């Protein structure tokens, strides 16, 4: 035989910008995003309908703003968003259709403005049209600015499982415009900070203590605090992706998915009644209690984490945790195998040793999980 093993080294620039009022006062920042872009700037602008409802002038501002920086708008569409657009491929197909109808090519841009779910679906369409176009993400929720918008993944749900159909694709740029957060209802605006709590817990003790000390101000949505929290969270996520050595997750360890095995399962079990942020709150609480139960972390740590979660107005229990199938098996535990199958390889779940310090474990004990869920249930009853 003849055998040739080639190495294909690749580097990507992952550009993340924080600004305010990007199509108005922040226009200069937008211009800089594209300043060193090669070739003509041409493409589609896609905006989630809920964002247009909240910002009725957004369409015209986006048109004027993008044109003024020399971007040729080949089309602008207002499209549905929210988790339901990840349930099937309707939005993905519509974006493909728009890309084709506008005769865009691989050097063209898709500028997507919306929440995490919208960006996931529109981003997947952009990542797969012509095998990948240039995507500019403009996340409009706290959660998407804290986490998903600055990541390098995009996905829709499939076979009743979260993010089953998706791709890794580094966006051309991410533009976090803090002004968009003002139109979120306070509960959603606050809840997205759970991803900041998560990344602080696994990466940055000082940041967790910063959040802890300011939890009342964050819960009151004091803007300077909220924005500082979002920015630091986004930077921790991005730094892990860029510098953690496994941007496309070919290994089994995924610290940024702390608490997510249960969260993703709860989202799909409840048909989206529990959305991502509240589901992550429960998933974090469960894995923190488990970390204590197996002797990795101290009970004080769990207390502090539970306090922070409730400080953000989030619950640590949902009845779905106790749903059982016809064989008496706790349905949420199916999330472990789904998590493993999604990551590939051996089951690897990060638990906490201390704040800012995790440890991978490779199996979870069902009875211990039962006990932890029992404790979360008791806590819920007290509330
Ligand atoms: N790709 C990744 O790496 C990654 C990482 C974490 C989470 N996610 C995904 O992100 C999704 C959750 O994102 P999310 O929390 O942004 O939820 P979301 O996209 O469902 O948005 C929440 C709600 O806010 C509305 N909305 C969005 N922006 C608004 C604005 N500025 N004003 C008023 N309303 C607005 C939406 O229509 C929706 O009803 C989940 O599907 C999750 O799986 C992806
Ligand atoms: Zn998440």
Q: Please report, in tens digits, the pLDDT of each residue of the chain (383 residues total).
A: 999 999 999 999 999 999 999 999 999 999 999 998 888 999 999 999 999 999 999 999 999 999 999 999 999 999 999 999 999 999 999 999 999 999 999 999 999 999 999 999 999 999 999 999 999 999 999 999 999 889 999 999 999 999 999 999 999 999 999 999 999 999 999 999 999 999 999 999 999 999 999 999 999 999 999 999 999 999 999 999 999 888 888 887 788 999 999 999 999 999 989 999 999 999 999 999 999 999 999 999 999 999 999 999 999 999 999 999 999 999 999 999 999 998 888 899 999 999 999 999 999 999 999 999 999 998 654 44
| Residue 129 sits in the same domain as residue 249 | no
Q: Are residues 64 and 83 in the same domain?
A: yes
Residue 226 within a domain: yes
Give yes or no: residues 218 and 262 share one domain: yes
CATH number where 244 lies:
1.20.1090.10
92 and 143 fall within a common domain: yes
* Separation of CA 195 and ligand 2 centre (Å): 6
To test ligand 1's pocket by mutation, which of 188, 198, 260, 265 has the most ligand atoms within 8 angstroms of CB?
188
**How much distance in Å is there from the Cα of 246 to the middle of ligand 2?**
18
CA distance 168 to 80: 23
Same domain (yes/no): 302, 207: yes
Residue 5 lies in a domain: no
With respect to residue 6, please indicate whether it lies within any of the assigned structural domains. Answer: no
Ligand 1 proximal residues by C-beta, below 6 Å: 48, 50-51, 54, 81-83, 86, 114-118, 120, 140-141, 143-144, 147-148, 151, 153-154, 162-163, 180, 183-184, 188, 192, 276-277
* SS3 of residue 204 by DSSP: coil
Q: What is the DSSP letter of 316?
A: S
Q: Do 334 and 272 reside in the same domain of the chain?
A: yes
**82 Cα nearest atom in ligand 1:** 20
Instruction: Tell me if 4 is assigned to some domain.
Output: no
**Among 115, 122, 199, 244, residue to substitute to test ligand 1 (most atoms within 8 Å of Cβ):** 115
User: Residues 233, 260: one domain?
Assistant: yes
Give the C-alpha distances (Å, rounded to integers) separating 7 from 4, 10, 216, 243: 10, 10, 51, 20
Residue 234 CA to residue 246 CA, distance in Å, equals 17
- Which of 55, 84, 117 has most ligand 1 atoms within 8 Å of its beta carbon, as the pocket-test mutant? 117
DSSP-based three-state secondary structure for 174: strand
Asked if residue 2 belongs to a domain, the reply is no
Beta bridge partners of 106: none
Looking at the structure, do residues 286 and 308 belong to the same domain, yes or no? yes
Q: Cα–Cα distance between 110 and 62 in angstroms, integer?
A: 13
* φ, ψ of residue 165 in degrees (nearest 5): -105, 110
343 shares a domain with 234? yes
Q: Could you identify the atom of ligand 1 that is nearest to the CA of residue 49?
A: 37
- The ligand whose atoms approach the alpha carbon of 138 most closely is 1
Work out which ligand 1 atom sits closest to the CA atom of 142.
16
Together in a domain, 134 and 195: no
Closest-CA residue to 144 (of 91, 90, 189, 201): 189
Residue 325 lies in a domain: yes
- CATH number for the domain that contains residue 179: 3.40.50.1970
The answer to the question of residue 333 being in a domain is yes
- 83-87: which pairs have CB atoms within 8 A and are 24 or more residues apart? 83/117, 83/267, 83/272, 83/275, 83/276, 84/117, 84/272, 85/117, 85/118, 85/121, 85/156, 86/117, 86/120, 86/121, 86/155, 86/156, 86/157, 86/163, 87/156, 87/157, 87/272
Taking the centre of ligand 1 as the mean of its atom positions, its distance from the CA of residue 276, in whole angstroms, is: 8
Q: Whose CA is nearest to atom 4 of ligand 1?
A: 148
* 215 belongs to a structural domain: yes
pLDDT of residue 147: 94
- What pLDDT does residue 288 have? 97
Query: Is 79 in the same domain as 115?
Result: yes
Same domain, 239 and 130: no
154-164-129 Cα angle (round to 5): 45
- Owning domain of residue 220: 186-382
User: Which one of 183, 200, 226 terminates a domain?
Assistant: 183
Among 183, 214, 231, the domain boundary falls at 183
Q: Which of 166, 183, 200 is the last residue of a domain?
A: 183
Give the count of domains, the chain.
2
């Amino acid at each position: 035989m003849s055998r040739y093993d080639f190495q294909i080294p690749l580097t990507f620039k992952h550009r993340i910008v924080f600004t305010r009022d990007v199509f108005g006062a922040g226009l200069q920042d937008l211009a800089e995003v594209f300043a060193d872009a090669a070739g003509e700037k041409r493409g589609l602008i896609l905006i989630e309908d809920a964002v247009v409802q909240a910002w009725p002038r957004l369409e015209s501002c986006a048109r004027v703003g993008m044109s003024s920086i020399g971007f040729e708008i080949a089309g602008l569409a207002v499209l549905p968003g929210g988790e339901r657009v990840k349930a099937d491929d309707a939005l993905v197909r519509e974006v493909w259709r728009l890309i084709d109808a506008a005769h865009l090519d691989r050097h063209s841009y898709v500028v997507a403005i919306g929440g995490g779910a919208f960006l996931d679906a529109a981003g997947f369409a952009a990542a797969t049209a012509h095998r990948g176009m240039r995507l500019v993400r403009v996340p409009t929720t706290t959660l998407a600015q804290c986490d998903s918008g600055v990541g390098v993944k995009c996905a829709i749900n499939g076979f009743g499982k979260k993010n089953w159909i998706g791709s890794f694709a580094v966006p051309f740029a991410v533009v976090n415009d803090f002004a968009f957060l003002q139109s979120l209802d306070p509960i959603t605006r606050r809840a997205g900070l759970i991803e900041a709590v998560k990344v602080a817990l696994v990466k940055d003790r000082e940041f967790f203590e910063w959040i802890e000390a300011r939890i009342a101000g964050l819960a009151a949505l004091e803007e300077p605090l909220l924005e500082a929290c979002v920015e630091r969270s986004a930077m921790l996520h991005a730094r892990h992706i860029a510098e953690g050595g496994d941007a496309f997750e070919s290994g089994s360890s995924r610290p940024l998915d702390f608490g997510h095995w249960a969260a993703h399962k709860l989202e799909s079990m409840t048909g989206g009644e529990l959305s991502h942020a509240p589901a992550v709150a429960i998933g974090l609480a469960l894995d923190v209690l488990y970390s204590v139960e197996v002797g990795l972390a101290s009970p004080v740590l769990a207390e502090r984490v539970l306090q922070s979660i409730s400080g953000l107005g989030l619950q640590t229990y949902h009845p779905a945790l106790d749903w059982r199938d016809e064989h008496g098996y706790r349905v949420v535990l199916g999330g472990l195998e789904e998590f493993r199958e999604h990551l590939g390889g051996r089951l690897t779940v990060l638990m906490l040793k201390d704040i800012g310090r995790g440890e991978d474990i490779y199996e979870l004990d069902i009875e211990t999980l039962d006990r932890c869920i029992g404790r979360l249930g008791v806590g819920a009853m007290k509330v």
